[in-house]
Amino acid sequence: MPHLTAINDFVVRFANVNGTGSASANDMFAKAIFRMGIPVSPKNIFPSNIQGLPTWYEVRISEKGYLGRREGIDIMVCVNPQSMPKDIASVKPKGYFIYDNTKELHKEFLRDDIHYIGVPMTQMCMDKFADPRQRQLLKNMVYVGALAALIDIEVPVLQEIINLKFKGKEKLVAANYEAMDMGYQYAKEHFKCPLGLRLERRDNVGNWIMLDGNTACGLGAVYAGATVLAWYPITPSTSLADAFGKYAKKLRVDPETGQNKFAIVQAEDELAAIGVVIGANWNGARSFTATSGPGVSLMNEFLGLAYFAEIPTVLIDVQRGGPSTGMPTRTQQSDILLAAYASHGDTKHVLLFPSTPKECFDFTADAFDLAERLQTPVLVMTDLDLGMNENMSPPLHWDDNRAYDRGKVLTADALENMAERYGRYLDVDGDGIPWRTIPGTHPTKGSFFTRGTSRDEYAAYTEEGPAYVRNMDRLVKKWETAKEYVPGPEFYQKKNQNAFGVIFFGTTTYAALEAQELLAEQGITLDAMRVKAFPFNDEVNKFIKKHERLYVVEQNRDAQFRTLLINELEVNPAKLVPILNYDGFPITAETIRQQIYKNLLGKLTPAIVEHEAAPPSESEVEE
């Protein structure tokens, strides 16, 4: 039977049992390839229970640097009998199925179009290690060692990673070395190594790093000067709070007294958490919360208060599958409309859409400046895929000369020298943003009553319609001002050259850019724009106006981002074609290509149709 053949261009998936220690071994596998200078994109696919159900870890290896998820499994490493039928079915024809053959594989699991590689992992560990838990954990290193032989992973690189991971624990280092060598030697002795799918060292990662978005957000909050985190645990944002705590303990402790210069409050629920955040920001601290869709739902009324009372607030939403409990450990971009218009009444909130860990760091830091400059909630819209998976990313950078933008805050001297009456909600500069004071700034001046009820320019309670309208209109003016401060879109062409284009944001970016290349191979070229923030500035509007048809790529059922564009920019809905994925897995380039291709079939000129360079995919033929 023929074999799949490729160098530095294939997908490996591991099928494990949750809670068996496989995550550590799988992580070492991905990082070893990264350290060989080859771009990788790992995805951890895990259940929402604590232990026992199947879990998968998928690694895309791409010499060209494609970092989006790719459909099709070339090598499956299966050590979970429960998921074996599904795992065998997922392997591409001519691909490889690596399994624990301590027990004979049942005949019903045999396919005649894939290659089976059996390694007696359990038996080898039982023979070598006495401790039952150690046997279970080290079985994972056996298959890592076998893979090292089968696809040419450099063993010294794996050893270096083991040394770093278990630094100071020499017994663990030795045991992991031994288990890895057992797998390596077995594969060398029983199979032709390397396989048709193999690795070769490259220098294609430059100075990039591997980092998860939640850690980047937590570190970004520390560098932004955040001193208060109030949160309630929820998947997939919990590790973000953990990261903030970890780095705050390193960077926010008084070196002389040893006292913490930060506070982390695990509140009784999400309502209390956002309440603490608003109170801390009102009092002059930089405070934030991290949550997911269900938490944002509960925080809606408080977000309305922060919007209306104009209190800086930062919320990081690590989105997951909804509605309700939904799929807590699957990824989506399904909180867009919820976040943009959170609360009853007329509200609009600033949203930031990072696409890499570096942008998670940068946008989190920017969110605090924006929140204080605009005196309003700012929501950083990441998701499980970006937040919990280690992604390749440009290195993080911080300018030590950067000053925090506290916005329009009156000092004690400014209040003392103020001849006119202070009005908390007066628009003295014509940009819709009033001047605020921090409690305790001056003993007699600058105080005001903070309320969620209607008030006049001097914060005095009123139910007079004209005063309410003036206030709401000023908030609209402030919204227009926000367009000057939020990050603008990114374009992937120097000049628009096509009638059709594609719009994407956040974690759809890598797949969308790869799909653009796939379509170009078929003679279909598209202009591309990545949106980084809401409100949409003029550049977004101009791009839309210059194109006849635009494909909006997003990961939810109801095309929420498309709806936001239509609602805010008054775009003809027929002009925006939704390209959707909402199965909980990261969208792929092939999914995007297929949907765009099918939409274009009736709109292509005969010359372009004849130019087709790539045949239809198998799914297109079947349909």
- List the domain boundaries for the chain: 6-198, 211-393, 408-487, 490-622
pLDDT digits over 161-217, tens only? 999 999 999 999 999 999 999 999 999 999 999 999 999 999 999 999 999 999 999
Q: Which two tokens stand for residue 595?
A: 């949907």
pLDDT of residue 533: 98
Confidence label for 1 from pLDDT (cuts 50, 70 and 90): confident
Cβ–Cβ < 8 Å for 393, 217:
no
What is the third-level CATH fold of 6-198? Pyruvate-ferredoxin Oxidoreductase; domain 3 (3.40.920)
- Vertex 404, ends 402 and 405: CA angle to 5°? 120
Query: Average pLDDT of the chain?
Result: 95
Cβ–Cβ < 8 Å for 22, 16:
yes
pLDDT of residue 606: 52
Which CATH number is correct for 490-622, 3.40.50.300, 3.40.47.10, 1.10.10.10, 3.40.50.920? 3.40.50.920
Highest mean pLDDT pick, 125-139, 381-395, 601-615: 381-395
pLDDT of residue 48: 86
The number of C-alpha atoms within 13 Å of 551 and in the hemisphere containing its C-beta is 28
What Cα–Cα distance (Å) separates residue 62 from each residue in 68, 143, 504, 604?
Answer: 10, 22, 22, 31
Chain center to CA of 141: 28
Judge whether 6-198 and 211-393 match in fold: no
pLDDT of residue 602: 72
- Return the amino acid letter for 375: Q
Mean pLDDT within 265-291: 98
The structure's pTM equals: 0.95
pLDDT at residue 605 tops 60: no
What is the third-level CATH fold of 211-393? Rossmann fold (3.40.50)
Mean pLDDT within 599-617: 56
For residues 509, 510, 512, 517, the Cα torsion angle rounded to the nearest 10 degrees is 140
pLDDT of residue 615: 43
